[in-house]
Structure 1
């Protein structure tokens, strides 16, 4: 069995009265795209900050490729490529200058840095903008440049914070395709996102986090199958129908959730069930279960600030 790319053991981080990470445990395998899903305050950003040495943990252990982060900080930082959510490119420099300047942090020689920059710009279809100032780029191009910059040190592990946030569909598709290509090339990816489609498309496994803990961890399909099923039904609750609908769901021993105006019935595999419920005069429909359904079922539908 290969050494995990990242192993987190009993990680704890507190901020005054808030516990951001509450004994977190997880392992990320080499070569996989591992997703962190969770509402605001779940602990995703805190974990990334600890992994990238921006924030110390209170207790616990982080290992990267078998090395203890506390003892091999410089060596581990060289393994990482970090793509932040917020754009921190230097708008006064050209596209190439941004990449070459960043390469200095890793003691990459200027000639090697320019060669590497040229290769990466071609990868992200930015070669025609190599000499343009960053401030002249579109939002999608700037996002792709952030990704390109994160690869300048030839990392074995890349950490991506909301990689497609704010992108138009075409730019998002290109970013997703490039991330798939990088994974196919053996690069491990840790992805934090609130985009359920992004997680389902890119991630081999996903950990759903809430209040500093992992609620469940599995493949996207495994999470859907285990928590909501391949298909689910939704019943509109019209005035005067609520009591009858919930009573019927309980009589049939259905796995359902009452959201007030809509009652969701999970794991509705029986072909006849939809017709039987419609025959009762209810407005009911069937659809495919999604990762978003899992997310809401595990973390709740209340707004988290």
Structure 2
């Protein structure tokens, strides 16, 4: 196994006409870690992911994924990665199991049924395996989408805004899934505009603003950029998300 980071980006630049979307982006992602690329809409997060996934060519700079240059060895990159976009790429007509079996067959894996069963169990979807995906909740659809992206055990996975459009309960489901990916040693590059998502999941955070990385480091590193906090004694109220999840969880237990 190479000691080089599985994702390395240097001087990445991309423009659309006069609009500079990326203006010299640099970062490394350590093996088996979760790296969060944080930024507002239009900051360049999706463009970065599309370049790393060989779906878009950079104007300048270099990038390697799993040791393969994205510009000159695209086939090697594609064999090493999986990409989950902002919208679940699942077939609503098929069942969860059929979706997974289809991807396993497309990847020419032995025993697609066993591959599907293993991933259904891993993502707590066994009970819904034979149901049409059209009956799944948003969180279940996203978990299935991520499970499909792991068919063949790619060492690197890109999650582009994986919780966009999900309700609070669905977001928590996806967060647990990402944590499990890291526990299994998968290298994850996660793009998000949700601060609490990056805070909970990421080993390292980079803030992308107007096409540049303006800050990066661990959460502790980034907190050091601000003045020391003052100590105040206040009553901590639960957030609306805390209340929502507690109420929904209690209703499920009573039901």
Structure number with greater Rg is 1
Report the Cα distance in structure 1 between the residues aligned to 2:106 and 2:174, rounded to whole angstroms.
Answer: 25
In the other structure, the counterpart of 1:170 is 169
Deviates more, 1:152-161 or 1:59-68: 59-68
In the other structure, the counterpart of 1:226 is 225
Does 1 or 2 have the higher relative contact order (CA < 8 Å, sep 6+)? 2
Q: What's the CA shift for 1:175? A: 2.3
User: Is 1:78–1:153's contact at 8 Å kept on the other side of the alignment?
Assistant: no
* CA deviation vs aligned residue, 1:182-216 (integer Å, no higher than 9, x gap): 21221111000111111001001100001110001
In the other structure, the counterpart of 2:121 is 122
Report the Cα distance in structure 2 between the residues aligned to 1:43 and 1:286, rounded to whole angstroms.
Answer: 39
Report the Cα distance in structure 2 between the residues aligned to 1:166 and 1:42, rounded to whole angstroms.
Answer: 19
Report the Cα distance in structure 2 between the residues aligned to 1:54 and 1:182, rounded to whole angstroms.
Answer: 24
Aligned residues: 235
User: Is 1:160–1:192's contact at 8 Å kept on the other side of the alignment?
Assistant: yes
In the other structure, the counterpart of 1:28 is 29
Q: What's the CA shift for 1:228? A: 4.7
- Coordinate RMSD, CA, aligned: 2.2
Alignment of 1:152 onto 2:151: yes
In the TM superposition, 1:234-273 aligns within 5 A as 268=230
Structure 2, unmatched stretches of 5+, are 237-255
Report the Cα distance in structure 1 between the residues aligned to 2:86 and 2:185, rounded to whole angstroms.
Answer: 23
Report the Cα distance in structure 2 between the residues aligned to 1:39 and 1:190, rounded to whole angstroms.
Answer: 16
Structure 1, unmatched stretches of 5+, are 232-267, 276-284, 288-305
User: Is 1:32–1:204's contact at 8 Å kept on the other side of the alignment?
Assistant: yes
TM-score (norm 1): 0.72
In the TM superposition, 1:76-91 aligns within 5 A as 76-91=77-92
TM-score (norm 2): 0.85
User: Is 2:39–2:207's contact at 8 Å kept on the other side of the alignment?
Assistant: yes
* SS of residue matched to 2:214: strand
Alignment of 1:179 onto 2:185: no
Alignment of 1:205 onto 2:182: no
Report the Cα distance in structure 1 between the residues aligned to 2:235 and 2:226, rounded to whole angstroms.
Answer: 16
In the other structure, the counterpart of 1:238 is none
Report the Cα distance in structure 1 between the residues aligned to 2:16 and 2:5, rounded to whole angstroms.
Answer: 29
From the superposition, tell whether residues 105 and 14 of structure 1 become closer, same or farther in structure 2 (CA, over 3 Å). Answer: farther
User: Is 2:139–2:173's contact at 8 Å kept on the other side of the alignment?
Assistant: no
Report the Cα distance in structure 1 between the residues aligned to 2:85 and 2:69, rounded to whole angstroms.
Answer: 23
Q: What's the CA shift for 1:286? A: 11
* SS of residue matched to 1:216: strand
In the other structure, the counterpart of 1:244 is none
Report the Cα distance in structure 1 between the residues aligned to 2:90 and 2:173, rounded to whole angstroms.
Answer: 20
In the other structure, the counterpart of 2:247 is none
Q: What's the CA shift for 1:170? A: 3.4
Deviates more, 1:116-125 or 1:163-172: 163-172
From the superposition, tell whether residues 213 and 88 of structure 1 become closer, same or farther in structure 2 (CA, over 3 Å). Answer: same
* CA deviation vs aligned residue, 1:224-261 (integer Å, no higher than 9, x gap): 222354x2xxxxxxxxxxxxxxxxxxxxxxxxxxxxxx
In the other structure, the counterpart of 1:161 is 160
From the superposition, tell whether residues 183 and 86 of structure 1 become closer, same or farther in structure 2 (CA, over 3 Å). Answer: same
User: Is 2:54–2:77's contact at 8 Å kept on the other side of the alignment?
Assistant: no
